[in-house]
Amino acid sequence: MKVAVLGSGDVGKRLAEGFASRGHEVILGTRTPGNPELKKWAATVKGKVFVGTFADAARQGELVVLAVRGDAALPAVEAAGKANLSGKVLIDVTNPLDFSKGMPPSLFVGTTESLGERIQKAAPSAKVVKAFNTVGNVQFVDPHVKGQPRLEMLIAGNDAAAKQTVTGILKSFGWAGSIDVGGIDGARWLEATVPLWVRVGGALNTYSHVWVVGRD
């Protein structure tokens, strides 16, 4: 499958590497497609990765991954172009983190809204699925947690088939599956786990920790 990954930070690169490692053709969308560092990186990735603009990537991608910083999410959707996202699964990895008061961050959305919902509204014909936002990027692909052989990703979105597609991708990445917390309004609570994740990371001095849903 052709996959557009919008965002050329660590989160976007890690996902691009993951999709490429599973045999997909990746078009990494960025505001700076001429960046020589990015071209160098793309050349080192195992598998097919091309670099282009947000619109290039979104046009070519059969599935689109939004992996930019929270404050860049809506501009990236705008730059990608609504028409290029129409009818496609859009995996939303973004977090509305507010660092204006330093660390640890807060959220720039409240609990009566979410960035996931804003993105769904900005691209109404896309099938937005919130995923990957609750874990650190080192765990996106081939996740590894001591004593936890079955890791599940928390996801939310309005389209059941799109969530199935994302769950299939998660399984191919080494996750046991997903836990579906409902419509895209569930993004409110997935996003709200992230300031807590940062605090827990500070307490434990790690960035590779993962929420596990334990049950008896």
Contact residues toward a second copy (CB under 8 A) are 104, 106-107, 109-112, 144-148, 151, 154, 179-182, 186, 188-190, 192-193, 195-196, 199-200, 202-204, 206, 208-216
Closest CB to a second copy among 23 and 168?
168
How many residues in total does the chain contain? 216
Nearer to a second copy, 14 or 88 (CB): 14
Separation CA 56–CA 190 (nearest Å):
29
Least distance in angstroms from the C-beta of 59 to a second copy: 35
Nearest to 189 by CA among 197, 178, 177: 197
Q: Minimum Å distance from CB 154 to a second copy?
A: 7
The set of residues, in sequence order, having a beta carbon less than 8 Å from that of 57 and lying 6+ positions away, is: 4, 5, 6, 27, 28, 29, 64, 80
Nearer to a second copy, 8 or 139 (CB): 139
Which C-beta is closer to a second copy: that of 83 or that of 179? 179
Least Cβ distance, residue 106 to a second copy (angstroms): 6
Q: Where are the beta strands (DSSP E) in 102-163?
A: 106-107, 127-130, 152-157
